[in-house]
Chain A
Amino acid sequence: MKQNNLMKKATPYLFILPWIIGFLVFTIGPLIFSLVMSFFDWPLTADPTFVGIGNYVKMFTSDKQFLKSLTISLKYAAIFVPLNMIIALFLAMLITQPVKGVKIFRTIYYIPTVISGVAVSILWGWILNGDYGVLNYLLSLIGIKGPKWLVDPAWALLAVIIASAFGVGSMMLIFYTDIKNIPIDVYEAAAIDGANPARQFFSITLPIITPTILFNLITSIISSFQQVTLVMLLTGGGPLKSTYFYGLYTYNNAFKHHKLGYASANAWVMFVIILCLTALVFKSSSAWVFYETEAGGTEKKKKRGGKK
Chain B
Amino acid sequence: MKMSKTSKVIIYILLGLVAVYFLSPFVYMFFTAFKTEAEAIAYPPKLFPAKWLFENFVNAWKAQPFGTYLWNSILVTVGTTAGQILSCSLVAYGFARFNFKGKNILFMILLSTMMIPWDVTMIPQYMEFKMFGWINTLKPLIIPAWFGSAYYIFLMRQFLMGVPKDFEEAARIDGANSFQIYWKIFMPILKPSLILVGVLNMISVWNDYLGPLIFLQDRSKYTLALGLASFKGVHETQIIPMLCITIIMIIPPIIIFIIAQKYIVEGTSGSIK
**Taking beta carbons and an 8 Å cutoff, which residues of A are in contact with B?**
9, 11-16, 18-23, 25-27, 29-31, 33-34, 37, 91, 94-95, 97-99, 102, 105-112, 114-119, 121-127, 131-132, 134, 137, 140, 166, 173-174, 176-178, 180-181, 184, 187-188, 191, 211-212, 215, 222, 225-226, 228-229, 232-233, 247, 250-251, 254-255, 260, 263-264, 266-268, 270-271, 274-275, 278, 292, 304, 308
Contacts of B121 in A (CB 8 A): 26-27, 30-31, 34
- Alpha-carbon distance between A239 and B109 when the two chains are bound, in angstroms: 41
Indicate whether B208 reaches chain A with its CB closer than 8 angstroms.
yes
Nearest-CB residue, chain A, relative to B29: A123
Structural contact, B116 and A99, CB atoms closer than 8 A: no
Q: Using CB atoms, name the residue of chain A closest to B253.
A: A114
CA distance A113 to B22 in the complex (A): 10
Q: Would you give 6 A-B contacts (Cβ < 8 Å), ordered by A?
A: A29-B128, A99-B15, A102-B15, A105-B19, A228-B210, A254-B119
Whether, in the assembled complex, B176 has its beta carbon less than 8 Å from a beta carbon of chain A, the answer is no
The answer on a CB contact under 8 Å between B243 and A126 is yes
Question: Which one, A19, A27, A251, contacts B116 given CB within 8 A?
Answer: A27
Q: In the bound complex, what is the Cα–Cα distance between A181 and B94 (angstroms)?
A: 29
Contacting residues, chain B, for A173 (C-beta < 8 A): 264-265, 268
Measured in the bound complex, the distance between the Cα atoms of B43 and A226 in whole Å is 36
Other than the given A13-B100, A37-B124, A166-B25, 12 more pairs (CB < 8 A) read A12-B98, A20-B106, A23-B109, A34-B124, A108-B19, A111-B257, A122-B242, A127-B25, A132-B45, A134-B45, A177-B268, A250-B119
* A19 close to B29 (CB less than 8 A): no
Q: Which residue of B lies closest to A123 (CB)?
A: B25
Query: A19: which of B147, B178, B228, B268 is its contact (CB, 8 Å)?
Result: B147
Nearest residue in B to A218 (C-beta to C-beta)? B115
Q: Does B57 contact A (CB under 8 A)?
A: no
Chain B, 163-218, CB within 8 A of any chain A CB? 178, 182, 203-204, 207-210, 214
A33 to B120, CA, bound (A): 10
Min Cβ gap A44→B in Å is 9
Interface centre among A31, A114, A122, A271 (most CB of B within 10 A): A114
| CA distance in complex: A305, B44 (Å) | 57
B105 at interface (Cβ–Cβ under 8 A)?
no
By the criterion CB–CB under 8 Å, are B178 and A98 in contact?
Answer: no
Chain B residue with the shortest CB-CB distance to A184: B1
Contact yes or no, B119 A267, CB < 8 A? yes
Q: How large is the interface on B (under 10, 10 to 19, 20 to 34, 35 or more residues)?
A: 35 or more
Given that A18-B87, A126-B243 are contacting pairs, would A94 and B257 also be in contact in the complex, using a CB cutoff of 8 Å? Answer: no
Cα A11 to Cα B266 in complex, Å, equals: 31
Which of A11, A19, A106, A117 has the most chain B CB atoms inside 10 A of its CB?
A: A19
A111 to B207, CA, bound (A): 13
**Residue B125 at the chain A interface, CB threshold 8 Å:** yes
Chain B residues near A9: list those with CB within 8 A. Answer: 100
Q: Which 5 A-B pairs have the closest CB atoms?
A: A22-B147, A15-B94, A177-B269, A12-B98, A30-B124
Within the complex, the shortest CB–CB distance from A146 to chain B, in Å, comes to: 12
Contact B19 A115 (CB under 8 A): no
- Knowing A26-B147, A111-B22, A275-B115, say if A16 contacts B95 (CB, 8 Å): yes
Given A94-B11, A180-B269, do A115 and B253 touch, yes or no (CB 8 Å)? Answer: yes
Smallest beta-carbon distance A132→chain B, Å: 4
